[in-house]
């Protein structure tokens, strides 16, 4: 991505299709076609494109605060994302996803929602970008299958990763992972790189189930956050990453839960854990309930109490 300035002084972002990137002409056409038709305050706006000889360039509105991952995962920058900004980003992305799923002329499954594909404008408004792998559904279509898995590991839903099934609910899973990353300040892929015995979902679930959610909140927030909002967002994030797609909420339900302090949120079950390149059985996870040690931990019951683990919860949860 390049920063450019038009003759009138307007700053723009120019995306150049790299011949070695693996993104083909069809992906480029898909991206241009989709973004040109989609107009929403939480989607990046297409200004133009150019195809000349072997050069292919698409021009977007410029987002001066860059991508979410740059601010979220770089320690020296993460303090710029206070809790109100993070909450605003989660709500903005949810509205953008609802537009894609239900409110636009097309039903769009993004298939690669992640922190690096969320841009932030001058007012820290979230802009969903990169539609190269998006899939158009007909108005009455709810799901599809593919033999070509595209996207980013760690954000893919279990049914998509293992069987190639994707739907609006697979996008919901990606959104849930993004929510948990925004709350914790940790990349899901960070756990894989550390050869950890759990991923981000398991890490958050363990502390949620032990009623100690404060331990997973990004230290960069320095306790300057709304306790109830953090608990609620963690709760919604875990609900979005449920194994069974039917157990995940729709995006309009997510927005309703984000905007309401009185609606009852369903209790999530423990998500399964998936590990790239590993062929072993996960040891049963022992879920001890420890004492609450902070206002955040004590306030979790103001919204809901996590389910107590059953024998099935403690059984092996690796890929079947």
Whether the per-residue pLDDT at 95 is higher than 90: the answer is yes
> Contact 118/127 with Cβ under 8 angstroms?
yes
Least trusted range by pLDDT, from 31-40, 104-113, 122-131, 273-282: 273-282
Q: Which CATH superfamily is domain 2-61 in?
A: Phosphorylase Kinase; domain 1 (3.30.200.20)
Q: Domain locations in the chain?
A: 2-61, 68-302
Identify the residue whose tokens are 């991206």: 31
- Answer whether 2-61 and 68-302 agree in fold: no
Query: Is residue 239 within a helix (H) or strand (E), and if so which, with residue range?
Result: helix 227-240
Model pLDDT, residue 289: 30
Model pLDDT, residue 47: 87
% of the chain with per-residue pLDDT over 90: 43
> Contact 203/191 with Cβ under 8 angstroms?
yes
Identify the residue whose tokens are 């070695």: 20
- Full-model pTM: 0.81
Residue 194 binned pLDDT confidence (cut-offs 50, 70, 90): low
Q: With the CA atoms of 230, 236, 237 and 241 taken in that order, what torsion angle do they form, in degrees rounded to the nearest 10?
A: 160
Question: How many C-beta neighbours within 10 Å does residue 93 have?
Answer: 25
Whether the per-residue pLDDT at 97 is higher than 70: the answer is yes
Model pLDDT, residue 275: 45
Which of 27-41, 52-66, 226-240 is predicted most confidently?
226-240
User: What is the spatial distance between Cα 215 and Cα 228, in angstroms, rounded to a whole number?
Assistant: 15
Which of 5-9, 235-239, 260-264, 307-311 is predicted most confidently?
235-239
3-state SS assignment for residue 269: coil
User: What is the spatial distance between Cα 97 and Cα 91, in angstroms, rounded to a whole number?
Assistant: 10
The closest of 255, 23, 276 to 134, measured between CA atoms, is: 23
User: What is the spatial distance between Cα 147 and Cα 168, in angstroms, rounded to a whole number?
Assistant: 18
CATH number for 68-302 (one of 1.10.10.10, 1.10.10.970, 1.10.510.10, 1.20.1440.230): it is 1.10.510.10
User: What is the spatial distance between Cα 224 and Cα 254, in angstroms, rounded to a whole number?
Assistant: 24
Average of per-residue pLDDT values in the chain? 80
Cβ-based neighbours of 121, under 8 Å, separated by 6 or more: 61, 63, 64, 65, 127
Catalytic annotation, residues: 112
Whether the per-residue pLDDT at 251 is higher than 60: the answer is yes
For the segment 142-175, what is each residue's pLDDT rounded down to a tens digit?
788 887 888 888 899 999 988 889 889 999 999 9
């Amino acid at each position: 991505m390049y920063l450019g300035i038009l003759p009138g002084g307007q700053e723009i972002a120019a995306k150049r299709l790299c011949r070695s990137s693996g993104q083909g002409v069809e992906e480029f056409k898909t991206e241009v076609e989709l973004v040109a038709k989609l107009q929403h305050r939480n989607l990046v706006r297409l200004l133009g494109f150019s195809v000349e000889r072997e050069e292919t360039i698409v021009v977007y509105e410029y987002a001066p605060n860059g991508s979410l991952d740059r601010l979220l995962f770089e320690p020296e920058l993460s303090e710029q994302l206070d809790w109100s900004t993070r909450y605003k980003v989660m709500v903005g992305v949810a509205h953008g996803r609802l537009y894609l799923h239900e409110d636009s002329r097309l039903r769009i499954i993004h298939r690669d929602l992640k922190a690096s594909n969320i841009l932030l404008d001058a007012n820290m408004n979230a802009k969903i970008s990169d539609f190269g792998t998006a899939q158009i559904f007909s108005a009455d279509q709810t799901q599809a299958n593919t033999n070509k898995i595209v996207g980013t590991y760690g954000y893919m839903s279990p049914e998509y990763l293992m069987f190639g099934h994707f739907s609006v609910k697979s996008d919901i899973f990606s959104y849930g992972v993004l929510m948990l990353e925004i709350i914790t300040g940790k990349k899901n892929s960070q756990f894989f790189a550390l050869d950890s015995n759990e991923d981000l979902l398991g890490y958050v679930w363990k502390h949620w189930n032990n009623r100690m959610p404060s331990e997973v909140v990004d230290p960069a927030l320095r306790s300057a956050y709304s306790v109830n909002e953090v608990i609620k967002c963690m709760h919604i994030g875990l609900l979005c990453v449920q194994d069974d797609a039917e157990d995940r909420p729709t995006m309009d339900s997510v927005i309703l839960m984000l905007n309401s302090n009185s609606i009852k949120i369903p209790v999530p079950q423990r998500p399964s854990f998936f590990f790239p390149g590993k062929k072993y059985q996960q040891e049963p996870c022992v879920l001890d309930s420890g004492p609450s040690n902070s206002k955040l931990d004590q306030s979790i019951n103001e919204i809901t109490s996590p389910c107590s683990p059953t024998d099935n919860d403690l059984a092996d949860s690796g890929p079947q």
